Structure 1
Amino acid sequence: MTEAALVALRGASFAYEDGPTVVDGLDFEVREGRALALLGRNGSGKTTLMRLLSGGLKPRTGRLAVEGRQVTYDRAGLTRLRTTVQLVVQDPDDQLFAASVAQDVSFGPLNLGLPDDEVRARVDEALAALDITALADRPTHLLSYGQRKRTAIAGAVAMRPRVLILDEPTAGLDPDGQELLLGTLDGLRASGTTVVMATHDVDLALRWADDVALLTPSAVRTGPAAATLARTELLRQAGLRLPWGIAAAQLLRFQGLLPGGASGPRTAEELAAMAGPPTPTAPSVSSDG
């Protein structure tokens, strides 16, 4: 690992009061422009890691750095960190508190002491990015679950962070809601935001992430998504199963239907596309009558 990382923990250790050590001597980095998925069983330390990266927790030993510069945990240091890194928690009801969507999204920029015109511009930009401009005046208690999720993310986006960390962002969403959210994340990435996502969904991680970090009892193992998610022993240590797409690719290669260096399908739709258009069948003729 190099100091050129956008955000990095160096030799970080952390334990909750009267609890066991959750993180011990960890080196971990977020590289700019790479979509990163954090995966591991419940209790593996994903939430602790996200809060350490975003400044919600302070490592007992080691340090957090942004572009090689150590983060200080005074007001100025945390303000600088939170204009670089934003965390959106899993349950939007833990994050939303204002009367309306626009008021909630404006909270962070207002706390930065920005001029009113700049605050309005950031709110408008964030609402548009999350496709919820029409909800600007909607009371937050009248939003659907998916709308509350998008509003919580918009509040983070309004801070214009370089790194956006999301805890289980697709949890509780129906398939259409998941697709809409993933499309939004693609748009944020295209505009220059580095996205980190904690998830239990190995199929989603394979489809979406450039890199994955597997949290095992012995260490955090980070690498390219497809190669790392094919390591069955490492997945077992992390309490995870083999992704569907990896298993499909292995079968296709065994059958000689996929060249060794070619990427396998990541979704059922990609597998269907590899098979080509369906072959028309002649209508059956009934012998009755």
Structure 2
Amino acid sequence: MEPLGPPANPPADPLVELAGAGYAYEDGPAVLTGVDFAIAQERALALLGRNGSGKTTLMRLLSGGLRPGSGALRLDGTKVSYDRTGLTRLRTSVQLVVQDPDDQLFAASVEQDVSFGPMNMGLAAPEVRARVDSALDALDITALRDRPTHLLSYGQRKRAAIAGAVAMAPRVLILDEPTAGLDPDGQERLLDVLAGLRAGGTTVVMATHDVDLAVRWADDAAVLTPSGIRFGPAGALLSDPALLSSAGLRTAWSPAVTALLRAHGLLAPDAPGPRDPEALAAWR
């Protein structure tokens, strides 16, 4: 793809940032080139783009699963080293949950799976138990702690996979399509969980193809297009039809309805529009 430029108005003191980062898989063309990408503290960030745009590669670079072929990854302004010490420092701060929970769950029971990360950090048993209890409670799956992972529903497996990351007490939680495959009720329950995590101080990054979800959930959005990354406040950025078309995304419901209401004089120019159909019904 074409080189991806720096995001507009990057945060002054990002938690995690890629600086001039590039990556190419073995025997393949460059996936990302010259990428500057920053994650701001306590800002919900939606990452959008068509399949093959580089979202997954970007997330794996940010979480340490891949090492940039050029440029650098920084945590709190300090360049990450890819030795044991540096990766431990990174992975205690940044956790990635992949799209398919079956790629992440491997232990016999939910509790064993969620406890694996803290145990692997060498934490004392009381601290491991406390982290597991807290993560299960945060994901509302305490009742499933002894359940074999292969007997969980898809939504329960999603929650268990996220709980395993939460038990690491990360400052940044990166989720790859967390609502994919969930029914509407399951999606809303997961969003409630993420709201609770954010209230507790966790910065959440979500990759999604759902533009409507990004508009109503995120503070900021980053859109990967063939010509580079566009970054900005979610509501404003995702109101640009040309940008969405270039990224292979459909027009968002909220900006379209808001524009229609303003065009008919039903909404003041500076008033926020409804972010979902429920808000529209209440607004009326």
* Category of TM-score, reference length = shorter chain: over 0.9
Alignment partners' CA distance in 2, 1:215 and 1:156: 25
Alignment partners' CA distance in 1, 2:61 and 2:42: 20
Determine if the alignment matches structure 1 residue 48 to structure 2 residue 57: yes
Determine if the alignment matches structure 1 residue 90 to structure 2 residue 135: no
Determine if the alignment matches structure 1 residue 261 to structure 2 residue 266: no
Q: Is the 8 A contact 1:210 1:225 kept in 2?
A: yes
Cα deviation 1:129-160 (Å, max 9, x = unaligned): 00000000000010000000000000000000
1:46-125 counterparts in 2 under 5 A?
46-125=55-134
Runs (5+) with no aligned partner, structure 1: 276-289
Alpha-carbon shift at residue 2 of structure 1 (Å): 5.5
Q: 2:22 aligns with which of 6, 13, 35?
A: 13
Q: Is the 8 A contact 1:100 1:136 kept in 2?
A: yes
Q: Is the 8 A contact 1:3 1:67 kept in 2?
A: no
Q: 2:152 aligns with which of 136, 143, 150?
A: 143
Cα deviation 1:68-93 (Å, max 9, x = unaligned): 01000011100100000000000000
Q: Is the 8 A contact 1:3 1:68 kept in 2?
A: no
3-state SS in 2 of match to 1:247? helix
Alignment partners' CA distance in 1, 2:110 and 2:188: 22
Alignment partners' CA distance in 2, 1:252 and 1:19: 48
Report the counterpart of residue 137 of structure 2 in structure 1: 128
Q: Which has the higher contact order (CA 8 A, sep 6+)?
A: 2
Alpha-carbon shift at residue 3 of structure 1 (Å): 5.9
Alignment partners' CA distance in 2, 1:212 and 1:3: 17
Cα deviation 1:29-49 (Å, max 9, x = unaligned): 000000000000000000000
Distance 1:3 1:64, change over 3 A: farther
Alignment partners' CA distance in 2, 1:5 and 1:245: 29
3-state SS in 2 of match to 1:246? helix
TM-score scaled by structure 1?
0.94
Alignment partners' CA distance in 2, 1:213 and 1:263: 21
Which structure 1 residue ranges, 4+ long, deviate > 3 Å from structure 2? none
Alignment partners' CA distance in 1, 2:100 and 2:220: 25
| Seq. identity, % | 72
Letter in 2 for 1:155: G
Larger radius of gyration: 1
3-state SS in 2 of match to 1:79? helix
Runs (5+) with no aligned partner, structure 2: 1-9
Alpha-carbon shift at residue 234 of structure 1 (Å): 1.1
Alignment partners' CA distance in 2, 1:220 and 1:199: 15
Alignment partners' CA distance in 2, 1:42 and 1:141: 29
Q: Alignment length, in residue pairs?
A: 275
Letter in 2 for 1:228: L
Alpha-carbon shift at residue 223 of structure 1 (Å): 0.2
TM-score scaled by structure 2?
0.96
Alpha-carbon shift at residue 19 of structure 1 (Å): 1.0
